[in-house]
Amino acid sequence: MTDQYAVIGNPIGHTKSPMIHGTFAQTTGQDIEYTAIEGPLDGFAGAVLAFRDAGGRGMNVTAPFKLQAFELATDRLERAELAGATNALKFEGDRIYADNFDGVGLVNDITRNLGVSMKGARVLLLGAGGAVRGALKPFLSQEPSALVLANRKPEKAQDLVKQFDHPALTSLEFNELVGQQFDIVVNATSASLKAELPAVPAEVFIRAKLAYELAYGKGLTPFLRLAKNAGVPQLADGVGMLVEQAAEAFAWWRGVRPDTRALIERMTIPLV
């Protein structure tokens, strides 16, 4: 019998997940069907339980339901607990397991696909939302010399520093970044979704090896353009993270990890 999986979000028409997981299933020989579900804003839990009760084995969760999925889960793995949100569910009997693969997907893309080591690096992470929360433990596990958070509302970044309590983790306000330099700069703010530039000074890129934009498919965003003009040799958007987190979820569900490189290359658009 073909196993059923799905992604749930609202809106969901833009999702690449069915294509990604369909490709994974084809290349690994897994018999699955993967669909997209537009969950009602006032009926998320009911939609998830209906899918499970109809035989569904697992779901990816995207905006705006990652917090609701976390609350719905009966069992939360450590990454989900630390992030306070989940992007993947697995159903086993009456148990709903939750994990969060966003952070590990991002680290895999940076270190494996882009070949940039985070060990001993000074890393600047812009933002303090769910994506950042999910990224902190995977980032810290790479042993950077410094991981600095900067956010439009500095108290949110400060709260994360207190929560994770790691000697490499600090926060700065945007105006305090003047004079600071980093090896890796990651934009996890929503600015690029509005074609806006986060309030980051160009000098943070002076010695940077990589500027990474979590948004994908937007081309050369204002953030990436600033980095390019500052001479950063390697620019990337979030398509690799998207595929890598999907591969982690697929492996969690199916016990086999698909190759990601060919699919990332196929989905990547030029950053011009």
Beta carbons within 8 Å of 191's beta carbon, 6+ residues apart: 197, 198, 222, 223
Taking the chain, what is the end-to-end CA distance rounded to the nearest angstrom?
Answer: 45
pLDDT at position 153 is: 93
Q: Using a pLDDT cut of 90, give the percent of the chain over it.
A: 91
State residue 101's pLDDT score. Answer: 96
CATH for 86? 3.40.50.10860
> What CATH number has the domain bearing residue 230?
3.40.50.720
Q: Is 66 a catalytic residue?
A: yes
Note the Cα 15 to chain centre separation in Å.
14
Pair (248, 263) in one structural domain:
yes
Same-domain status, 215 and 261: no
In whole angstroms, what is the distance from residue 81 CA to residue 102 CA? 13
Same domain, 33 and 113: no
| Residue 129 scores a pLDDT above 90 | no
Q: Which residues pair with 236 in a beta bridge?
A: 212
Q: Is residue 153 located within the same domain as residue 219?
A: yes
Q: For 30-89, write each residue's pLDDT tens digit.
A: 999 999 999 999 999 999 999 999 999 999 999 899 999 999 999 999 999 988 889 999
Domain assignment present for 144: yes
Task: Please give the C-alpha separations between residue 48 and each of 5, 19, 87, 225, 253, in angstroms, as whole numbers.
Answer: 11, 21, 13, 40, 16
- The answer to whether residues 22 and 6 touch, using CB atoms and an 8 Å cutoff, is no
Q: Classify 212 as helix, strand or coil.
A: strand
For residue 258, what are the domain limits?
Answer: 3-100+240-267
Catalytic residue among 16, 66, 162, 194: 66
The partner residues of 75 in beta bridges, in order of sequence, read 97
Contact 177, 124 (CB under 8 A): yes
> Do 127 and 212 fall within a single domain?
yes
Domain count, the chain: 2
- Full-prediction pTM beyond 0.85? yes
111 and 210 assigned to the same domain: yes
Is 272 part of any domain? no
Residues 118 and 209 in one domain: yes
Tokens 């696909």 belong to residue: 113
